[in-house]
Amino acid sequence: MATTSITPAITLPNGGATAPAIQVAALVKTYAGNIEAVRGIDVTVARGEIFGLIGPDGAGKTTTFQIMAGVMEATSGTVNIYGEPARDARFHTGYLTQTFSLYPDLTVWENIVYIGDLREVPHTELEERGRRYLAMFDMDRFTDRLAGRLSGGMKQKLSLVCALVSQPQVLLLDEPTTGVDPVSRREFWDTLAHLAADGLTIMIATPYLDEAERCHRVGLMHLGLIREIGTPAELRENLHARRLEVHTDNLGRAEEVLADAAEKSPEVRKEIIDVQRFGDRLDVIAPNPERGRVVLQETLKAAGLTSDIYREDQPALENVFVATLRAAGQEMKAPPYPGVHDHADLRGTIAIGATNLTKRFGDFTAVKNVSLDVRYGEIYGLLGANGAGKTTTIKMLCGLLDPTTGDMQLTGERGSLRSPEVRQRIGYMSQKFSLYDDLSIGENLDFFAGVYGVPEREREDKKRWVMAFSGLEGKLDLITGSLPGGWKQRVAFGASIMHEPEVLFLDEPTSGVDPLARRAFWRMINKLADMGTAILVTTHYLEEAEQCNRLGFMVAGELAAEGTPRGVKAQQGGHLLEFIVDQPQKASDLLRQGAERWRVSLFGDRLHVITDDNLEAGHDATVAKLVAAGITIKSVMEEQYSLEDVFIAVVEKARKLGKVASDD
């Protein structure tokens, strides 16, 4: 049995050492049929630490959390919470499951009281804590709202309030922000950072690797084993590589050329260990950036492609994750898509168009004068916080909802978009409903093949492809409702493209999907775009939004900004400074005083500060504030805006003008 040993003594980012809060030793969980979900892991987490557990679907993360929460017994090994067995420490442990586990027919406050009573919290303490945490999460306005009427982000905040009212010493969070918009996610993580600074120990599983960057340490889990543990910076350094941002006129062809060369040539494979396509660039991971540049440009030049190395940077945590899983023999691969209906002849013409699109529900205007177009062969990302109007816009654009005013165009048709001819030329994967849970996977695929008019001669090939893409070969008889969320998303995506649509609408297609599967999704989405399909996608994961060719940012029903990923970053102006300091939480709180809070964000031991001053003035003013407060600055450098930075800036500037999403 393989194990991973972790030294019990832990040093936190502030340099202080502390006794363990969570001690996991030789943990094993075996289910009936000798299925090993957890195969012998050792983990030690310190008081006040935020520890991230990341891994693909089926890695064993949820099983580990259930044992630590005391709701499941281990087959062997031990889990101690502050020296007590996990089952005995349940009243000291808060646990958020993947799915919303509160009562939708109770109000916000009734849910808090119910959980407090279960945890035997005295009513005077429950009242004080509940009100305090609601105010902390900006939810004190919603005490009388039914939980079922809350947005995704607000539900997760309520779940966290309910977990905190018993004043736990340890908080276990199993993918708490899946489906939560970026504004709410940042607020959620700001809260976690404050709680950890006050001494609460937090262990969190997340499929979002930009969130893992906010943890003090991260463990990479695969097939029941923890393969690697360290701070995000240590994990990136362990890859011993750099990331090259490459621009070229034909991204799809360039990606194919480099991947093919790496597969066939040991020399190329040595210098280029990963290639990932984004909406306006390629990211190439090279152990030696100088040699990597030469090999990359020579390889592309031999294929008749020109290229430009735009910038060099450290690898992302996702690059580390993918490299670790590849070394362990895991890779998401599927047979070639059995497509026979190419739409390349339509490339460049408008597939989806809207002019002054408006939708009112009574006195409420959900969408206000939105104008956009998506061309064949293009991937357009529609981004916005919960309640911004994205889903309403998509429903109008694909003919599911009539606009109040405005003109639309879809696959060359105007006016009514509900004809059978139009329906069979579009694909739609909705945010919440895509498959019938009480049907088997095979029955679902047969149903959608019939609805979309897939020719009988193509159906078996398409079904085999969907099952291979989903990693579920030979399991057509499985009931769909029994699938974990990530696998269900893969099947739903496959079902939506069996008929090779000209236009594809994807509403948060990779919500809850692990990074390897997400890459497979986007390889397929790019393949469809290369074949001429027009694709409109929404996502809350802004690293993923980099995959789109163009982006539109919606705020309170209006399109507030639009452009390529690189273009919208350039539109922001100002500068982003990254500070590494000895007291990151104190520094964050200090810099937010008297300033717009969104301009300061905390990522573990790193602090991002956005300034509209010139670079030197912004740097000097920030340094002066930190030094005056006794905070030691270890390093400072200018960094490139992320799409999350852009998103938050667009939303907050719109709020300043009085535009507020409907969820508020």
Of the candidates 606, 598, 613, 663, the one whose C-alpha atom is nearest the C-alpha of residue 639 is 606
| Burial 379-404, CB ≥16 within 10 A → b, else e | bbbbbbbbbbbbbbbbbbbbbebebe
Give the Cα separation of 38 and 357 in Å (integer): 52
Identify whether the C-beta of residue 578 lies closer than 8 Å to the C-beta of residue 608.
yes
Please, what sign has the CA dihedral across residues 211, 215, 221, 224? Answer: negative
What is the value of pTM for the model shown? 0.85
Mean pLDDT on 643-647: 89
Torsion, CA 416, CA 422, CA 426, CA 430, rounded to 10: 40
How far is CA 242 from each of CA 217, 311, 318, 577, 622, rounded to the nearest angstrom? 21, 10, 13, 21, 29
The percentage of the chain sitting over the pLDDT mark of 90, rounded to a whole number, equals 50
- The H-assigned helical ranges of 303-440 are 317-327, 390-397, 420-423
pLDDT at 16 over 70: no
Position 168 scores a pLDDT of 92
For residue 181, give every residue at least 6 positions away whose Cβ sits within 8 Å of its Cβ, in sequence order, or none: 151, 152, 153, 384, 385, 386, 540
Sequence letter at residue 142 = F
Q: How many CB atoms lie within 10 A of CB 237?
A: 14
Res. 424 pLDDT band, cuts 50 70 90: confident
Q: How far, in whole angstroms, is CA 468 from its chain's centroid? A: 24
Identify whether the C-beta of residue 206 lies closer than 8 Å to the C-beta of residue 177.
yes
Residues 238, 240, 246, CA angle at the centre, nearest 5°?
A: 125
The bridge status of strand 242-247 relative to strand 308-313 is antiparallel
Tell me the pLDDT tens digit for each residue of 17-39: 456 999 999 999 998 777 889 99
Q: What is the DSSP string of 82-108?
A: TTEETTTTGGGEEEE-SS--S-TTSBH
Q: Which of 11-20, 231-240, 325-334, 599-608 has the lowest mean pLDDT?
A: 11-20
Position 283 scores a pLDDT of 92
Return phi, psi of residue 110, to 5°.
-65, -35
Position 157 scores a pLDDT of 83
Residues 104, 108, 112, CA angle at the centre, nearest 5°?
A: 105
The percentage of the chain sitting over the pLDDT mark of 70, rounded to a whole number, equals 94
Res. 660 pLDDT band, cuts 50 70 90: low
pLDDT at 9 over 60: no
Work out the burial of residue 233: count CB atoms within 10 Å of its CB; fewer than 13 is exposed, 13-18 middle, 19 or more buried.
Answer: middle
Tokens of 400: 């599911």
Mapped onto helix, strand or coil, the DSSP state of residue 347 is coil
Res. 259 pLDDT band, cuts 50 70 90: confident
Tell me the pLDDT tens digit for each residue of 159-198: 888 988 888 999 999 988 877 778 878 888 888 888 898 8
Position 444 scores a pLDDT of 94
Give the Cα separation of 471 and 226 in Å (integer): 22
Mapped onto helix, strand or coil, the DSSP state of residue 160 is helix
Tokens of 290: 């100088």
